Structure 1
Amino acid sequence: MTDTTTPSAAPVVHAPVADTRLLVPLALFALYIIWGSTYLGIHYALESYPPFLLAGIRFLGAGVALFAFLRLRGVAMPTAIQWRNAGITGFLLLGVGNGLVCFAEQRVSSGIAAVAVASMPLFAAVFAGVYGEWPSRRETVGLVIGFVGVVVLNLGAGLSGSRLGAIALLVAAMSWAFGATWSRRQDMPAGPMNTAAQMLCASVALLIVGFAQGEQLPAHPTTRATLALVYLAVFGSIIAFSAFLYVLKHARPALATSYAYVNPPVAVLFGVLLVGESVGPYDLLGMAIILVGVGAITLARQRR
């Protein structure tokens, strides 16, 4: 998922470090806010679009647009190995990960989906440990605090879902975590081309699964569902996914996956503001604990 090559010429050695110190926080902010809102976006889009075709159209449109833009700007095509790695990673992250979230949101609310996916950093820490990159002691403390916050948030949400939906969300979190960890050690396309290649490959898999299951495109989709689909493609896919790949390349796994802890309270807040959902004391306490956990992870990164 990340570019493993290094620049052939780097006359100013410290410039990338300075850029990273600015861009990593900006990218994390995009992940926290945009991806927190995509759960509600999926909820709206599912009013008209079936789950796997929804995800497939989303990534096909975003992938084609970004790929065409990059090619027009002269960005090189990925090599055969890079296409293979992007295909595997895109299938794990977007095909299985996002596809199953869309599938699960037919059965559970957007809030419970965000809460369940928040288990992803723990799986990512385990998979990273298999490759010898165990989280530091401070990062482990932050991960545990964040997960406790998610549990508290779930207690206050009063949400319930089907067993099938819960299993789908758990598999989605595991697949995303493994894909993110595996890709860090592979030869991936450079920069935004990595995003485009993964979305194109994932869209093919999602469309095949959708049509194979008998899903059909809506003849008369609602305006809100279509606008939600466009939002998911532009902001959730092109902007936020590019930000995720950047953070994954330039930050430790614990920080790169910390968005999964922030997304649940963001999803709840969007539900309050846009859908009129209520927030109780457990919700507020859970959000506070989550933010403490993310702060611990961030401080651990700065002290390394």
Structure 2
Amino acid sequence: MAIQKKTLTIVLAFFAIYVIWGSTYLLNKIAVSELPPFKLASIRFVIAAILIFIIAKILKINISITKEQLKNTAIAGFLFLTFGNGVVVWALKFVDSGFAALEISAQPLVVLILMRIIQGKKISTMAYIGVVLGFIGIYLLVSQKELVSQEGQIIGMIMIFACMISWGYGSLFVGKANLPSNYFVNTGYQMLTGGIMLFIVSMILGETWTLPSTWNTDVQWSMLGLILFGSIIAFSAFNFLLKEVSPEKVATNTYVNPIIALILGWWVLNETITLQSIIAAIVLLTGVYFINTNRVIKPRGIGR
């Protein structure tokens, strides 16, 4: 009975990192249709951080950290959330949610290249093939005339790629930085500091702040989903799976998330899925597969 219960928990956890994380692109797209992007991201992460700390207290988890750990979580919070997520949410004002998810699926490629440049890591033949396929897939994705002709589409694609570099560098940074040993606490501080910096950016840009009661019902539900499901439940499931199954199995969310995002964007928002996008997805995700079969790059980006 205990084995069956654990198996069910693992299945539900995979559902969370596959479907919930895949749906966050749609939820962000809906929310950013009414809310300013940095305000949206700030509210999401600050509230999620507060809820995480409340849960930690209930579970009697020690949330105290050192000054160095606070500084490092703030740096990670900026790389992953303030820039890495805030700018993606901004880009969703111009880019389809499924398109954004597909472009972001190339993140392991970016991480591998940064490891080669910054850490001098050697790249195997399989990984080289993955890099080539990845670049071909990205080219097929971003070279579509019907997309490039849309207003703001090019700058949106460029900024999403900049966010991927930020996430990639953040992944390398957290691998060596002195951070809280408890992953739950570490996430809470990253979300809190990242959310506060997003609030500062929002104030500097003069974004308009309104009460949740004035938001459209769809936006209210989207924000609730981002906070509870995207930031807390899915990430907790991700953390659980890293302890219970092999990392390469957890990394399969890299392939599933963009497919979920594409389908939901097409189904809910009537976003266009072109034949070239489908071909680009196959080539790009094949490249990511080649990269991950050589050296598993754990999916990062706690701010999905």
TM category (shorter chain) comes to 0.7 to 0.9
Q: Against the structure 1 CA distance between its residues 299 and 27, is the aligned structure 2 distance closer, same or farther, given a 3 Å change threshold?
A: farther
Rounded to whole Å, the distance in 1 between the matches of 2:110 and 2:239 is 18
User: Larger deviation: 272-281 or 206-215?
Assistant: 272-281
| Aligned-pair identity (%) | 33
Q: Match for 2:281 among 272, 281, 287?
A: 287
- 2:173 is matched with 182
Alignment CA distance shift 1:150-1:257 (3 Å):
farther
TM-score, normalisation: structure 2: 0.78
- Tell me what 1:127 maps to: 114
- What secondary structure does 1:49 align onto? coil
Aligned to 1:4: none
1:234 aligns with 2:234: no
Secondary structure, aligned partner of 1:108: coil
Q: 1:296 aligns with which of 290, 293, 300?
A: 290
Q: Is the contact made by 1:41 and 1:231 (CA closer than 8 Å) also made in structure 2?
A: yes
Match of 2:176, SS?
coil
Stretch moving more, 242-251 or 291-300: 242-251
Render the CA deviation track for 1:169-190: whole Å, top value 9, x for unaligned. Answer: 2221111111111111112221
Structure-2 change in CA distance of 1:150 and 1:32 (3 Å) = farther
Distance 2:289 2:161 in 1: 25
Say which is worse superposed, 69-78 or 263-272, in terms of deviation. 263-272
For residue 119 of structure 1, report the CA deviation from its aligned partner.
4.1
User: How has the CA–CA distance of structure 1 residues 218 and 157 changed in structure 2, closer, same or farther, with 3 Å as cutoff?
Assistant: farther
- The answer for unaligned runs of 5 or more in structure 1 is 1-18
User: Which residue of structure 2 lines up, in the alignment, with residue 70 of structure 1?
Assistant: 56
Instruction: Give the alignment's TM-score, normalised by structure 1.
Output: 0.78
Tell me if the contact between 1:156 and 1:281 (Cα under 8 Å) persists in the aligned partners: no
Moved more, 116-125 or 155-164: 155-164
Q: Kindly report the root-mean-square deviation, in angstroms, between the aligned alpha carbons of the 2 structures.
A: 3.3
User: Cα distance, 1:263 vs. partner?
Assistant: 3.7
Q: Is the 8 A contact 2:25 2:97 kept in 1?
A: yes
The alpha-carbon deviation at position 127 of structure 1 amounts to: 2.4
**Out of 129, 147, 159, which is 1:159 matched to?**
147
Counterpart mapping for 1:220-299 below 5 A = 220-242=214-236, 259=253, 262-299=256-293
1:138 aligned partner: 126
Deviation at 1:261, TM superposition (A): 5.6
Measure, in 1, the Cα distance between the counterparts of 2:46 and 2:189. 10
Task: Please give the per-residue CA displacement for 1:146-203, whole angstroms capped at 9, x wherever unaligned.
Answer: 4433443445694235244334222211111111111111122212111111111111
Change (3 A) 1:166 1:292: closer
Indicate if the aligned counterparts of 2:96 and 2:265 stay in contact, CA closer than 8 A. Answer: no
The count of aligned residue pairs is: 280
Distance 2:45 2:57 in 1: 18
Q: 2:20 aligns to what?
A: 34
CA contact (8 A) 2:105 2:285 kept: no
Query: Partners of 1:72 and 1:183 in 2: how far apart?
Result: 27
Quote the Cα distance in structure 2 between the aligned partners of 1:32 and 1:188.
27
